[in-house]
Amino acid sequence: MNYTSYIPPLCNPTRVAIVGAGKVGSTLAQRIAERNIADVVLLDVVEGMPQAIALDLTQARGLEHHDCQIIGTNDYADTANSDIVVISAGKPRQPGMSRDELMKTNAKIVLEATKQAIAYSPDAIFIVITNPLDVMTYLTWQASGLPPHRVMGMAGILDSARFQTFIAMELGVSIVDVKGMVLGSHGELMVPLPRYSTVSGIPITELLDAATIDRLIERTRNGGGEIVELMRTGGAYFAPASSTCEMVESILFNQSRLVPAAAYLQGEYGLKDVFIGVPCRLGCRGIESILELNLTDSETTALHISAESVRHNIEFANQLLAATSHKC
């Protein structure tokens, strides 16, 4: 039997590069492929590991019924012409390691990853996952030289999903009807907004008393920490991968989903020159627009405190990098 080709082969399939093939990166690769969204290039410094994960995922292709190509590599050249670059490379905090040391280590990794990836995919949109999230997103933007709408951080969508989960569990309602809204930085200073978190359009402030809402907010703030404590080695990865996949899907399919993401602010919410979680409309050009919600004075104050801490950490990271002549 012989096929004769009568049209040129289809070129440039949609491609997502994931730098850092650890727990989050590899689970994200699985989500993207199994939802049939795009081809995936998984890159890591560890030799053999991304290749092994890619082969394993590829062997499941006939069972999961998708047509996505999954490549594992240690070479940035293989990531060329990606539409989206996801940065999930980093080190977790080791016993005895300070937060400063972690910041320095991950800042170097993220800067290197950005410079290498952008060289091969100059038209890509960057989504950053590595912690400390808002700071790493800022450094990625600086190092890439990209316009701000093409760089964003994944955290708000995850924090909102966690809030949503705890609300649904508390009220005994289907998760499908619950929406959570969490702004601010990723960490203890995140800003959950009960007034904008709803069950079938009803704000939760109408359905739950203040003490219960405070308890759910506290659990949301500690959503990642609770998992780290239980797991002991490593942190959450299923929900982070799902959250990132939603962002990838909204961009590649130009869905205009409105989700909280770490975005560069230029006066919105009274804040400038900082990346922080705000509601963003995500489409094929990246962050298509930022929605400015009407916030109460205390909500605005909480957002500004959150932004101040990110700004402080950006300065600190840049000082650490300057000391090792790694500043971008």
Binding residues vs ligand TXD (CB under 6 A): 19-25, 44-46, 88-90, 92, 106, 109, 112-113, 129-131, 133, 154-155, 158, 186, 234-237, 240
Comparing CB distances to ligand TXD, the nearer of 199 and 246 is: 246
Query: Which residues, including other chains, have CB under 8 Å from residue 30's CB and lie 6 or more apart?
Result: 57, 241
- In the bound state with ligand TXD, the residue whose beta carbon lies nearer, of 199 and 221, is 221
Any known ligand binding at 7? Answer: no
CA 223 to chain centre: 15
Quickly count: other Cβ atoms within 10 Å of residue 190's Cβ: 26
Distance CA 295, CA 139 (A): 28
**93 appears as a binding residue in the annotation:** yes
Please list the active-site residues. 186
- What token pair was written down for 205? 């402030």
Q: How far is the CB of 213 from ligand TXD (least distance, A)?
A: 22
Helices (H), 83-222: 99-120, 133-144, 156-171, 210-221
Q: Which residue is nearest to ligand TXD (CB)?
A: 22
* 232 is known to lie in a ligand binding site: no
Cis peptide before 132 (omega within 30 of 0): yes
**Residue 242 to residue 229: CA distance in whole angstroms:** 21
Q: Least distance from C-beta 249 to ligand TXD, angstroms?
A: 17
- Report the nearest approach of ligand TXD to the CB of residue 136 (Å): 8
Q: Which amino acid appears at position 140 of this protein?
A: T
Q: CB neighbours of 25 closer than 8 A, spacing ≥ 6?
A: 18, 19, 42, 44, 86, 88, 89, 129
User: Does the annotation place 235 within a ligand binding site?
Assistant: no
251 annotated as belonging to a binding site for a ligand:
no
112 within 8 A of 290, measured Cβ to Cβ? no
Q: Which is nearer to ligand TXD, 49 or 207 (CB)?
A: 49
Distance, CA of 62 to CA of 199 (rounded, Å): 39
Q: Measured from the CB atom, is 20 or 283 closer to ligand TXD?
A: 20
Instruction: Select 158 or 193, whichever has its Cβ closest to ligand TXD.
Output: 158
User: Token match 């949109």: residue?
Assistant: 125
Annotated binding-site residue? 257: no
Selection from 240, 210, 206 nearest residue 223 by Cα:
240
- Least separation in angstroms between CB 47 and ligand TXD: 10
Closest contact distance (angstroms) between CB of 80 and ligand TXD is: 16
Looking up tokens 């942190």 gives 235
31 is in an annotated binding site: no
Binding residues for NAD(+): 20-25, 44, 106, 129-131
Binding residues: 20-25, 44, 93, 99, 106, 129-131, 162
Binding residues for substrate: 93, 99, 131, 162
